[in-house]
């Protein structure tokens, strides 16, 4: 049984003089690590779902029955000529039907299934504009709900929104291969829209949970460990989808079915072991609870706080983080969604190698995310650099240096060198995870969810300009010069947004983090007194439970 109805105030840690010494970290694998692992697995599943269509779209639209007929017409025509007949199958619709029947007659059973009108394995003839609408319908739903989801996470805790997202995404993914058979591309857009609407809760909910669970001395490691699931999920889906889509037995629908099953398994895991805050966790020890409370900046009580929107909107530090979030999101979404197309059309990479090459940069990003998290905590622990300068430096690496390598990626001709440039660019972009991304928790752990919701909404709203840019700049997918222009524009956006972050960033907890406290002086109460009463109540509740049993 978790601790219930405990109302105490957090300690204002405005400077080192007022702060209480943080208790030593408990040894071993604690409850906070279990929560981090659960969130890592969940975000891995969600990002697999988010990125799956980037590679799957190539397989879904690589051929269709009409193209198969056109391709086999010449073969059938040659066969007729060799057999003493001379029939042109392209003259009439009847002859096209004859060609189709002859082609299907020579197909294997699996190929016949693929060519069947009612088969989920069939492919579709969608033009570039339609494909872009399908790909970005997810981000339309995601953008429209990310701000409300931040408020919901703040009010109800982070666990419930994550459960809803996992359940909806799992069911929708399982049904997606059959949807276009009956509704066409519009139905696929609706499916992706639903997934985006519910996945909008992911980041605000995780930020809310981190604000409760992550001690400040472990914030870099825990947050980057959890959010590295976004790269890990992308790596997995690029690898697996390339293999499955290129396999004649499984085909592209199996990608959706696999992701759907994984999402529902994650739902069960979060429902069973997930906890929105330490007080809701049945297995947390008193020692670990004291350690988490030791930072004293996050309110672990069950009381509901009003969000200080006036103070938030007036904060230049918040807006610096938001602007950087916008630049980062535009660059990340461009690379995530358009890289497979660039690899296929400009570098002429086949679908199997495309999945491998597209996943390698995210493997680098996964490793570098963990490295940046460890490095930032180490630098802070040894007082080598202030938290503010850590955020500035990491963000600059993730935005400016990464943007430069993205531009170089667009100019090289060699496939191998291009992949190396992309790996470096995406890998270094992970610096933002200990830059603006974690800075939202630095500013106000009690309102990390709404801050992430607001920043994520604006970032993804501006990211909707990316498909517009792609459509207007890239009329021909094979024109490398057009891609170069696009990459340069994105790099400039990242550089400018990082400059604003460097100017306005702050790392200390803001006064409005404690908005709504009735007794600000209570924040100065000794940690020991508060923790003792808390543990006494926990022991009392456990004793009552034993007596009842």
Tens of pLDDT along 416-430? 899 999 999 999 999
Record the pTM.
0.74
Domain at 284, CATH number: 1.20.1250.20
Count of structural domains, the chain:
1
Residue 80 CB: number of other CB atoms within 10 A?
A: 15
The confidence score (pLDDT) of residue 205 equals 93
> Of 359, 365, 505, nearest to 425 (Cα)?
365
Residue 456 inside a domain? The answer is yes
**Residue 508 Cα distances to 12, 61, 126, 168, 441, angstroms:** 11, 51, 51, 38, 10
**Domain span at residue 358?**
31-62+123-514
What's the count of helices (H) and strands (E) in the chain, helices before strands? Answer: 23, 0
- Segment 67-80 shows an average pLDDT of 42
- Segment 294-317 shows an average pLDDT of 74
Residue 58 contacts residue 344 (beta carbons within 8 Å):
yes
Residue 5 inside a domain? The answer is no
The confidence score (pLDDT) of residue 118 equals 53
Residue 82 inside a domain? The answer is no
**Residue 65 Cα distances to 62, 112, 116, 183, 248, angstroms:** 11, 10, 9, 18, 16
Q: What is the token pair recorded at 46?
A: 């969600």
Residue 430 inside a domain? The answer is yes
The confidence score (pLDDT) of residue 300 equals 52
Q: Return the higher-pLDDT residue of 489 and 66.
A: 489
305 Rama class: left (phi>0) / alpha (psi -120 to 50) / beta: beta
pLDDT per position as a tens digit, 327-384: 999 998 898 778 888 888 888 877 667 767 777 888 898 899 999 999 998 998 888 9
Residue 143 inside a domain? The answer is yes
The confidence score (pLDDT) of residue 306 equals 82
Q: What is the token pair recorded at 215?
A: 């001690």
Residue 173 inside a domain? The answer is yes
Residue 67 inside a domain? The answer is no
Quickly state the pLDDT bin for 250 (edges 50, 70, 90).
Answer: confident
Q: Phi/psi at 267 (nearest 5 deg)?
A: -55, -45
> Of 201, 204, 210, nearest to 275 (Cα)?
210
pLDDT per position as a tens digit, 211-223: 888 888 888 889 9
Residue 368 inside a domain? The answer is yes
pLDDT per position as a tens digit, 325-334: 999 999 988 9
- Segment 149-162 shows an average pLDDT of 90
Position 517 pLDDT exceeds 70: no
pLDDT per position as a tens digit, 486-515: 999 999 999 999 999 999 999 888 888 886
């Amino acid at each position: 049984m978790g601790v219930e109805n405990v109302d105490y105030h957090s300690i204002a840690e405005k400077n080192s003089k007022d702060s209480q010494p943080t208790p030593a970290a408990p040894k071993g694998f604690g409850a906070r690590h279990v929560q981090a692992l659960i969130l890592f697995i969940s975000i891995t599943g969600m990002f697999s779902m988010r990125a799956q269509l980037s590679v799957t779209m190539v397989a879904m639209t690589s051929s269709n029955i009409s193209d198969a007929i056109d391709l086999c017409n010449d073969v059938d025509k040659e066969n007729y000529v060799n057999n003493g007949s001379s029939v042109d199958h392209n003259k009439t619709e009847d002859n096209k039907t004859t060609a189709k029947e002859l082609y299907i007659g020579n197909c294997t059973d699996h190929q016949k299934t693929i060519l069947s009108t009612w088969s989920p394995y069939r492919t579709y003839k969608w033009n570039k504009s339609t494909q872009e609408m399908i790909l970005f319908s997810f981000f339309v739903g995601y953008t429209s709900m990310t701000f409300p989801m931040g408020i919901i996470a703040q009010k109800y805790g982070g666990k419930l929104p994550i459960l809803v997202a996992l359940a909806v995404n799992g069911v929708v993914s399982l049904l997606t291969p059959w949807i276009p058979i009956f509704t066409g591309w519009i139905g696929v857009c609706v499916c992706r829209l639903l997934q985006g609407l519910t996945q909008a809760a992911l980041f605000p909910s995780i930020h809310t949970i981190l604000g409760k669970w992550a001690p400040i001395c472990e914030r870099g490691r825990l947050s980057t460990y959890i959010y590295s699931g976004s790269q890990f999920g992308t790596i997995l889906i690029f690898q697996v989808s390339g293999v499955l889509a290129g396999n004649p037995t499984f085909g592209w629908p199996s990608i959706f079915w696999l992701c759907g099953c994984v999402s529902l398994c994650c739902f069960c895991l979060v429902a069973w072991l997930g906890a929105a805050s330490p007080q809701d966790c049945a297995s947390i020890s008193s020692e670990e609870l004291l350690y988490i409370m030791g930072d004293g900046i996050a309110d672990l009580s069950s009381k509901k706080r009003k969000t200080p929107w006036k103070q938030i909107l007036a904060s230049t530090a918040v807006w610096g983080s938001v602007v950087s979030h916008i630049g980062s999101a535009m660059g990340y979404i461009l690379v995530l969604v358009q890289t497979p197309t660039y690899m296929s059309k400009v570098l002429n990479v086949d679908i199997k190698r495309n999945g491998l090459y597209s996943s390698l940069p995210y493997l680098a990003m996964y490793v570098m995310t963990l490295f940046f998290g460890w490095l930032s905590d180490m630098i802070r622990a040894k007082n080598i650099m202030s938290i503010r300068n850590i955020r500035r430096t990491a963000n600059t690496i993730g935005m400016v240096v990464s943007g430069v390598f993205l531009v170089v990626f667009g100019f090289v001709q060699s496939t191998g060198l291009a992949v190396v440039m992309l790996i470096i660019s995406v890998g270094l972009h992970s610096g933002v995870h200990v830059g603006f991304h974690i800075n939202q928790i630095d500013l106000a752990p009690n309102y990390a969810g709404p801050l992430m919701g607001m920043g994520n909404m604006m970032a993804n709203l501006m990211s909707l300009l990316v498909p517009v840019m792609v459509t207007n700049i890239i009329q021909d997918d094979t024109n490398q010069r057009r891609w170069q222009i696009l990459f340069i524009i994105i790099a400039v956006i990242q550089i400018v947004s990082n400059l604003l972050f460097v100017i306005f960033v702050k790392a200390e907890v803001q006064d409005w983090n404690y908005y709504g406290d009735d007794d600000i002086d209570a924040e100065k109460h000794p940690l020991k007194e508060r923790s003792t009463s808390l543990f006494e109540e926990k022991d009392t509740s456990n004793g009552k439970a034993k007596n009842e049993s």
